[in-house]
Amino acid sequence: MKTIFDRLRANEEVAMNDPDYGLIGASVETTMRLNLKLNNAQDLDEARHYLSEIIGTVVSKDTTVFTPFYTNFGRHIQLGRNVFINHACSFLDLGGIVIEDDVMIGPRVNITSENHPIATSTRNTLIPQKVTIKKGAWLGANVTVLPGVTIGEHAVIAAGAVVNKNVEPKSVYAGVPAKKIKDLE
């Protein structure tokens, strides 16, 4: 039988009255305690150590995470090698966030893999949708990436953009909502 976390990772909708929904809250509290330690780390090695505890796998030595960093769950974040995460980023990862190798993430970037229906009758349902940031992508300062989006290899997202649709590889996107403004060579 699949756990609620398996169901979320499989991007199955989960109502807040689901009998297992309380398990999410307990896990979030564990992550909050670890996040406090992460955000009080004295150096990058200590920050990597606590981020490794949060996500449940070893964070590569060539990955940099500047604090503060926030996540609500953490176990559904996958980090590649040589990833750079700047200050004050927030990842809501119940639906899954995959960050491949050589990705650069600017300050105050928000990535969310979670949503809710608009209809008031079903709004208490969590809709998880995995976000994937492909190899070599660069997200500028204050970018927001919404659920279900894939950002293509070596794409650039301009500062302040809100990405609500998939991004082509080797291209630059900007604006709210983000639109392609040019191709990269």
* Residue 28 CA neighbour count, 13 Å, CB half: 12
CA-to-CA distance for 182 and 176, rounded, in angstroms? 16
Decide: residue 125, CB within 10 A, 0-12 exposed, 13-18 middle, 19+ buried.
middle
Catalytic site includes residue 116: yes
Catalytic residue among 76, 87, 116, 154: 116
Decide: residue 111, CB within 10 A, 0-12 exposed, 13-18 middle, 19+ buried.
buried
Strand ranges (E), the chain: 14-15, 64-65, 69-71, 77-79, 84-85, 89-92, 97-99, 104-105, 110-112, 114-115, 125-128, 131-133, 138-139, 144-145, 150-151, 156-157, 162-163, 171-174, 179-183
The residues annotated with a catalytic role in the active site are: 116
